[in-house]
């Protein structure tokens, strides 16, 4: 088994045919100038020690050194052994509120950006847990299925915005129901839903959905983002606030944090609630909660122990370049004595 660590350097190999074309053109140009200077055979007699083959050999050695250098930069890795890796952890789904109210800036830089920062920081302190992401507003939308690839999870997390779910509002029950489908009912792995929202639920049945999730063995931790004083919802264009969202009476809408609804959801699954305005407090709370959740073995995979091989290619490259120095363009005496091409009369 093998893998290439830095595949991007392979594009440097396109230099090889370019160098070959340049080399052939130079040889053609030299021959042309020799013919212009005089008779070719006479010119050769004037420089009897000049080798025709040596420049070609030097060029080939240089190209081989360049190829070896490129592969050294690519760093091929070869699997040297197989070992069984057992991982223990829990399944976690992050449900992030992406409704328009999350644009409020009563929490800097905004409720949504604060939520994304919190999720990213939580992911940073995870170990072998599997994670998934759900976005919700008036309805819920699957963003990322259960995975162990934290890098991909962060990429999808940063792309989340208030336009990804067309129906507006905050449907906490849809978020819980969709998150519940992420977990295999027959799987004994501990299940945790971390739900981030300002708690302004515009639907009914969130507690009933939480009760149903509890029957599937899912625990819910809710994180409230926003302030009880609240704030307006800015309407921006190119990053500049043009106005604030207004209701049917043309009054500026003030959106507030509703902690009670979030606490009720968490209580239904014997989970917990934490205010998300202080990221440090959230991380400490989540860390303590994770320590109290039983870890289970959910994956046993055969993994190859890959060893870097770049040093061999770099060694070959430098050896060839060193050898190239000693290739002179004049004929080699001991080969000349063999008279392989019947050059002696």
Q: Has residue 340 got a pLDDT over 60? A: no
Q: Has residue 133 got a pLDDT over 50? A: yes
- Return d(Cα 70, Cα 9) in angstroms, integer: 6
Q: What is the pLDDT of residue 111?
A: 94
pLDDT tens string 77-132: 876 666 666 777 889 999 999 999 999 999 989 999 999 999 999 999 998 888 99
- Return d(Cα 244, Cα 233) in angstroms, integer: 5
Domains of the chain, by residue range, sit at 2-75+309-338, 86-300
Q: Is 341 exposed, middle or buried (0-12, 13-18, 19+ CB in 10 A)?
A: exposed
Q: Give me the torsion for CA of 113, 254, 207, 154, rounded to 10°.
A: -10
- Return d(Cα 327, Cα 335) in angstroms, integer: 14
**C-beta separation of 260 from 267 below 8 A:** no
Q: Has residue 55 got a pLDDT over 90? A: no
**Contacts with 131 (C-beta within 8 Å, 6 or more apart), sequence order:** 91, 92, 93, 94, 123, 144, 146, 147, 148, 150, 153
Task: Say if residue 109 is preceded by a cis peptide, omega within 30 of 0.
Answer: yes
CATH of domain 86-300: 3.40.50.410
Q: What is the pLDDT of residue 335?
A: 47
pLDDT tens string 147-199: 888 999 999 999 999 888 877 777 888 999 999 998 877 677 889 999 999 98
pLDDT tens string 238-288: 778 888 888 888 888 898 999 998 999 999 898 999 999 999 999 999 999
Nearest to 169 by CA among 102, 252, 248, 244: 102
């Amino acid at each position: 088994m093998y893998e290439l660590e830095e595949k991007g350097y392979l594009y440097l190999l396109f230099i090889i045919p370019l160098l070959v074309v340049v080399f052939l053109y130079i040889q053609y140009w030299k021959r042309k100038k020799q013919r212009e200077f005089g008779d070719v055979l006479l010119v050769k007699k004037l420089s009897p020690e000049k080798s025709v083959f040596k420049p070609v050999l030097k060029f080939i050695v240089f190209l081989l050194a360049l190829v070896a250098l490129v592969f050294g930069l690519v760093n091929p890795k070869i699997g040297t052994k197989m070992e069984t890796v057992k991982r223990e952890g829990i399944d976690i789904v992050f449900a992030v509120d992406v409704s328009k109210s999350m644009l409020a800036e009563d929490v800097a830089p905004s409720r949504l950006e604060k939520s994304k920062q919190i999720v990213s920081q939580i992911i940073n302190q995870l170990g072998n847990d599997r994670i998934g992401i759900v976005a919700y507003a008036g309805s819920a939308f699957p963003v990322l299925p259960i995975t162990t690839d934290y890098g991909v999870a962060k990429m999808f997390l940063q792309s989340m915005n208030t336009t990804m779910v067309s129906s507006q509002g905050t449907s906490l029950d849809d978020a819980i129901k969709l998150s519940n489908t992420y977990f295999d009912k027959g799987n004994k792995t501990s299940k945790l839903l971390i739900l981030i929202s300002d708690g302004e639920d515009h639907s009914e049945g969130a507690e009933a959905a939480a009760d149903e999730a509890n029957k599937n063995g899912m625990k819910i931790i809710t994180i409230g983002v926003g302030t009880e004083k609240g704030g307006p919802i800015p309407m921006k264009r190119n990053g500049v606030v043009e106005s604030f969202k207004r209701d049917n009476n043309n009054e500026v809408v003030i959106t507030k944090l509703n902690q009670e609804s979030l606490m009720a959801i968490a209580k239904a699954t014997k989970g917990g609630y934490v205010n998300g305005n202080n990221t440090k407090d959230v991380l400490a709370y989540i860390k303590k909660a994770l320590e109290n959740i039983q870890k289970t073995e959910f994956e046993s995979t055969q993994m190859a122990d890959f060893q870097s091989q770049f040093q061999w290619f770099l060694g070959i490259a430098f050896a060839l370049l060193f050898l190239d120095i000693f290739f002179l363009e004049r004929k080699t005496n001991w080969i000349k004595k063999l008279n392989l091409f019947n050059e002696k009369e």
